[in-house]
Structure 1
Amino acid sequence: MRNAMQHTQTVHASTALVTAGAEGDRLVGSDRVLAVLKELARHPDGVTLDELTRAIGSPKPTVHRALAALRRAGLAGQDPGGRYLLGDEFLRMAFAHHEARPEHVRVRPLLEALSARFGETAHYAVLDGREVVHRAKADPPTGAVRLTSTVGGRNPAHATGVGKALLAHELGTLDAVRRWIGETPLERRTPRTLCTAEELHAELRATRERGHALDDQENETGVNCLALPVYGTSPRAPSGAVSVSALAYRTPLRTLVDAVEEIRELLGPLKEPF
């Protein structure tokens, strides 16, 4: 009798593992709702149910139920043409949270000062794996040509000044750089992007030595930047990095390098040497 019960438990356990494995390959429950929410964020002009169904890879009734749940919470809505988009409640929460973040409150005046000083775009970004995420941005005065970067936007860390400013603190050896790259090759955004472990290691070492990071049209042709780490939460580890991102024809990289001490002074209490 005991052996029979043990056999039955083993079968049930095996079945549960198979079911869990199967569900791991497809979206279930709340994961599906979140996937729909993230897909809505990719379509500021709205998206149809058919388009959502194809993008999510779930049956139409299932996606429709997810949308109904999001609409009840105010996180999704429909325009007069029937296209689905993010709801006003989602936008309210996102903007209220973003504006109230302590780091944003402290960094925003700095970005505005940098943008006004150089007539270029200033960013604050944090490291997230192999990418940087823009947490805040200040554009130059109305009328000037502006960059298309957005708050919440992502770029490869190895190709950006803010990314290299932060990686310089985390990857101190060639082996560390190789482990960080792993098996997935680094993306080449422009002909100038540093894509090998040796190139990136040498640049991170140079970044530590000079105390600031550079992006010499490595992420986007025609755009360069100078970046410095900021210490908003700890005196030892940077919470993020600030950059002045400039159109190369208007503000050459040399101009930014020559003004690095002025930029450092503008950081005030947020600055800390490498």
Structure 2
Amino acid sequence: MEHTQTYDESTALGANSPTAADGNRLVGSDRVLAVLKALARYPDGVGLEELTRAVASPKPTVHRALGALRRAGLADQNVRGRYVLGDEFLRMAFAHHEARPEQVRVRPVLEALAHRFGETAHYAVLDGREVVYRAKVDPPTGAVRLTSTIGGRNPAHTTAVGKLLLSWRPVTVEEVEAWIGERPLERRTERSLCTAAALHHDLAATRERGYGVDDQENETGVNCLALPVYPTSPTIPSGAVSVSALAYRTPLASLVRAVDEIRALLGPLGEPHS
């Protein structure tokens, strides 16, 4: 099951945005970008009234923003008159994603992992308190819907890729506390690690063994094992590759026993170099 969050101006602009922080109304380019980001949440299209509520702006204001986006080819109306992302936006997004150097290099590895284990393989990077999925390959058969999508995010502290990449950063429990800050860690399942002490202990274990695990901490019934990769950085992993599996079909212990095989499939991508 996918987790969703309430959409507001802070979501659209980012929590550190001056506009989001001071509570002022969205204006100019900020308003247009907020409408564009809101459209991405409605793959089946959205009406003007609903979109107006989603971005908390007056209807004429949202209508003008939609007009600007439509003229640029970034928004359109479907046959039912509902607003959707435009074909030009999708063309640019997919062309950019496919051309990213790390995406091109990592995808064959993901395909090999998905074929070998019959489970979903991911490539993700760390962005603050979250991981962002840059690539995803489902198995040829037996794929199930996970919360991950390309470009989507999950909490770093509940995912194998996130904890693995975090293990290179906070070392002491005080540093973990500073990383957590004032915002409590989200509890995605009953197994999520939501205290500084528990997360510190897990990061230390991850650092020692060289791989990260998620034992149904982000999604009930799904476990994961992640290893670092170095597609753009020679000594510090720029991301991580993971195998996300249904716990009843591929238990975490099975992934752990196969860690050397997974590492071998990564090849040079999984090896730091000078």
The equivalent residue for 1:269 is 268
Q: Is the 8 A contact 1:140 1:146 kept in 2?
A: no
Could you say which residue in structure 2 is the equivalent of 1:65? 64
Greater C-alpha Rg = 1
Within 5 Å, give how 1:1-274 maps onto structure 2.
25-142=24-141, 144-148=142-146, 149-272=148-271
Instruction: Report sequence identity in percent.
Output: 76
Identify if the C-alpha distance between structure 1 residues 74 and 119 changes in structure 2 by more than 3 Å, giving closer, same or farther. Answer: same
Q: 1:101 to 1:165 in 2, by over 3 A?
A: same
- Secondary structure of 2:168's counterpart equals helix
Structure 1 unaligned segments of length 5 or more: list them: 1-19
Q: In structure 1, give the amino acid aligned to 2:78.
A: D
For the 8 Å contact 2:120–2:143, the answer to whether it is kept is no
Change (3 A) 1:258 1:27: same
Gap runs ≥5 in structure 2: 1-18
Instruction: Output the CA distance in 1 between the equivalents of 2:143 and 2:170.
Output: 35
TM-score (norm 1): 0.90
1:72-103 CA deviation, whole Å, 9 max, x = no partner? 00000001111000000000000000000000
Secondary structure of 1:152's counterpart equals coil
Quote how far apart the aligned CAs of 1:23 are.
7.6
**CA RMSD for the aligned pairs?**
1.5
8 Å Cα contact 1:121/1:147 also seen in 2: no
For residue 206 of structure 1, what is the amino acid of its counterpart?
A: A
For 2:167, what is the secondary structure of its paired residue?
Answer: helix
CA–CA separation in structure 1 for the residues paired with 2:21 and 2:162? 37
**Residues 215 and 252, structure 2, Cα contact 8 Å, conserved in 1:** yes
Q: Per-residue deviation at 1:128?
A: 1.0
| Deviation, structure 1 residue 170 | 1.0
User: Comparing both structures, which one devotes a greater share of its residues to helix?
Assistant: 1
Moved over 4 A (4+): 20-24
1:200–1:55 distance in 2 versus 1, CA, 3 Å: same
Aligned with 1:183: secondary structure? coil
